[in-house]
Amino acid sequence: MTMQFKRFQTRLIVFFVALLALLQLTVFLAVNDANIRNARQVIKENLQVGSSVFNRLIEERTRNLFQHARLISSDYAFKPAFYSDDRPTILSALENHLQRIEDADIMLLVDLDLKIIADTRSPEITSETVAWPALIERAEQNDYAEATAVVLIENLPFQIIVVPYLSPDINAWILLGFAIDQQVADDLKQMINSEISFFVSSDSKQWRLTRSTLDKDKAGSLMRKNKQQELSFNQGQTFTLDDEEYIVLYTQLAENKTVFAMLQRSLDQALKPYLRLRQTLQILMLFGLLLSLLGALFIARKVTKPVKALTLSVQKIEQGDYHTKIITEQKDEIGQLAGSFNQMAKGLEEKEKVRNLLGKVVSKEVAEELLCRKIELGGEEKQATILFSDIRDFTSLCEGAPAQEILTMLNVYLTKMSAVIEINHGVIDKYIGDAIMALFGVPVNHGNDAHNAVATAIAMNQALQKLNKDKFGKAIKIGIGLNTGRVVAGNMGSPDRLNYTVIGDDVNLASRLEGLTKFYDLPVLVSESTRTAADSFVYQEIDRVRVKGKQNAVAIYRPVALLSQISQPQWLEVEICSTMLSAYRAQKWEKALEQLDQLALIEDSEFCQIYRQRIAIFQVSPPPQDWDFTFEFTEK
């Protein structure tokens, strides 16, 4: 599963908190590990010290015992008692001495044949061989006739020493001993601050727990563990007693391997101060995490809030609202960004203002072209269809009407026409009074610009019909001329004041064609090139003309309708016109007139009148030999 943090705020928080958590975890683990390891080491060292202390303690006590024994050994007062041969007296004397020695628990007098003379532990015993002959044998071998050993008496270890009884030569052996009992264990525990347990064994195989400073429950657990042979008796062992981990050190008490002490220390106890520290550490960590969370949240908010505002503002600008402004008091990068953004919005607003103004002065497309490109004088040759439209008899229309009214009417008219042109992707080049010059194919080539131009011309007439009917209440007529050809399109004028427009012969021809509409009393006239370029329309050839200032004659046409939408009567009209023109051009005047009569039945147009007149003239004076059917216009 992959989590995705789409929001910057979340990412920032997750990053910071995760980083801190990781760092803290690492520190925590390292500290924890070091502490536990240190605690173990300290315990081990303490146990070593404890072991030394324990051995030293036993040594000291043993030494003390020797010193006491030596005093007794040569004590003069005891001698008469010893030689009295009266056992109760001797025993009493021994007990007397034992009382003087705080450190000793038992005292025996053994004769040279190792028979017990008196034993403070068992007053009734006499003439029995002592239980530890080897100890006395060792004393006999010793330079000072002394020896010591650990022996077991009823499974309790005793440190026993032997010194000779001198009166003044060796006449007997004095044995003194102290028990390695609970008292020793408790003393030791107080000194070394470790638990201590004594194990004894008579065969070095089966070990018994005799005394321990552990409390009853733990001692019981230890005993069970021992019984289940879970104690390895190897150095460095650790084991748990009632869920408490202990580190253990074994120390041998005597060479004869009957007793050893197990020093043990609870790891948990040793770690207690650290555990408190750990708790504090954990709280601190939690606090730190919380703080970092809040901090990250704060910083993220500080960053995301202006970013959000920025986003909102950008969206507003996208929708065209440039009045948006980000207010921030931050002085950092975000603040700088907000400042820059505000600057940008202001810039965009100004640019948009200019663009709007430009759009009003020139057409949208031209404005775009001007804004997009580097504005410089000059142009390029392009294929374009030029439309000229003009209100017929505008001057007479204006007569007697207030200028304001005219202007209002003109504005309504131009607005409507402009809309039609723009809908058909035409570009208004300029208004010349009531006339409109529009371009198709520049600055942007749409691929079907001639078609658009013809469609525009038809639509303009339709729109005018509607205006006439709805707004003006009079029959305003317009004439539209269309021509397609290569033109030069570009910025013209001076570097300070320029105009995007087109120039060329074909522009002039379009203008001339517009002029001819009045003559033929037709709403639209297109040139041959336009007819060829916009071939989805059906055209009616009107004439072949040579306009003023032009050498070449051009055929002029009237667009009838879209090929797909043409009606039967329209077809008929077009066909009659075509037959009439053929007859006319073949100088079959009668046939032409016949056709004209038919045409007149449909509509007795100016077209019919013109050709009747011409035929009438040609019937009187036939056309010259080189007649090329062209009608020459000598004025504009």
Partner 1 sequence: MFFNRSLKLLSKVLTVFFCFTVGGPVEAAVLKIQAIDQQNKPVENAVITATPLFSKVEIVKQTKIIDQINKEYVPRVVIISKGSSVKFPNKDNIRHHVYSFSKAKQFELPLYEGSTAPPVEFNSEGTVTLGCNIHDWMRGYVYISETPFAALTDKKGAAVIQELTEETYRVDFWHPRLKKTLISREIKLQQDSIETVKIRLQLKQLIKKRQKMKTRFGRYSD
Report the nearest approach of partner 1 to the CB of residue 50 (Å).
21
Secondary structure (DSSP) of 12-70: HHHHHHHHHHHHHHHHHHHHHHHHHHHHHHHHHHHHHHHHHHHHHHHHHHHHHHHHHHH
The DSSP call for residue 470 is I
Is the separation of the CB atoms in 265 and 192 below 8 Å? no
Give the E-state strand segments of 120-236 in sequence order. 147-153, 156-166, 170-179, 195-200, 208-212
If one asks whether residue 252 binds partner 1 (CB under 8 A), the answer comes out as no
Residue in 2, 4, 168, 551 binding partner 1, rule: CB under 8 A:
168
* Binding positions for partner 1, 317-356, rule CB under 8 A: none
Report the nearest approach of partner 1 to the CB of residue 83 (Å).
5
| Neighbour-count burial for 446-475, b at 16+ CB within 10 Å, e otherwise | eebbbbbbbbbbbbbbebbeebeeeeeeee
Given the rule CB under 8 A, which of 127-135, 152-160, 164-172, 222-230 is the region that contacts partner 1?
Answer: 164-172
Judge if the upstream peptide bond of residue 168 is cis by omega within 30 degrees of 0. yes
Residue in 10, 32, 55, 74 binding partner 1, rule: CB under 8 A:
74
> What is the pattern of x (binds partner 1, CB under 8 A) and - over residues 377-416?
----------------------------------------
Residue 411: both structure tokens together: 């504005």
Report the nearest approach of partner 1 to the CB of residue 170 (Å).
7
Given the rule CB under 8 A, which of 162-170, 217-225, 316-324, 513-521 is the region that contacts partner 1?
Answer: 162-170
Residue in 153, 170, 223, 488 binding partner 1, rule: CB under 8 A:
170
**CA-wise closest residue to 516 among 372, 348, 392, 345:** 392
Report the nearest approach of partner 1 to the CB of residue 199 (Å).
33
If one asks whether residue 169 binds partner 1 (CB under 8 A), the answer comes out as yes
> What is the pattern of x (binds partner 1, CB under 8 A) and - over residues 52-71?
------------------x-
Given the rule CB under 8 A, which of 73-81, 301-309, 366-374, 627-635 is the region that contacts partner 1?
Answer: 73-81
If one asks whether residue 144 binds partner 1 (CB under 8 A), the answer comes out as yes
Residue in 12, 20, 68, 82 binding partner 1, rule: CB under 8 A:
82
Nearer to partner 1, 63 or 353 (CB): 63
If you count them, how many residues does the chain have? 636
Report the nearest approach of partner 1 to the CB of residue 85 (Å).
11
Give the E-state strand segments of 180-235 in sequence order. 195-200, 208-212
Residue in 58, 135, 136, 145 binding partner 1, rule: CB under 8 A:
145
Report the nearest approach of partner 1 to the CB of residue 61 (Å).
17
Is the separation of the CB atoms in 253 and 58 below 8 Å? yes
Nearer to partner 1, 145 or 545 (CB): 145
Residue in 166, 223, 337, 600 binding partner 1, rule: CB under 8 A:
166
Residue 209 neighbours by CB distance under 10 Å = 20
Q: Is 88 strand, coil or helix?
A: helix
Report the nearest approach of partner 1 to the CB of residue 208 (Å).
38
> What is the pattern of x (binds partner 1, CB under 8 A) and - over residues 185-204?
--------------------
Nearer to partner 1, 145 or 149 (CB): 145
Give the separation between CA 104 and CA 178, rounded to whole angstroms: 5
Residues forming contacts to partner 1 in the complex (CB under 8 A) are: 70, 74, 76, 79-80, 82-83, 140-141, 143-145, 164, 166-170
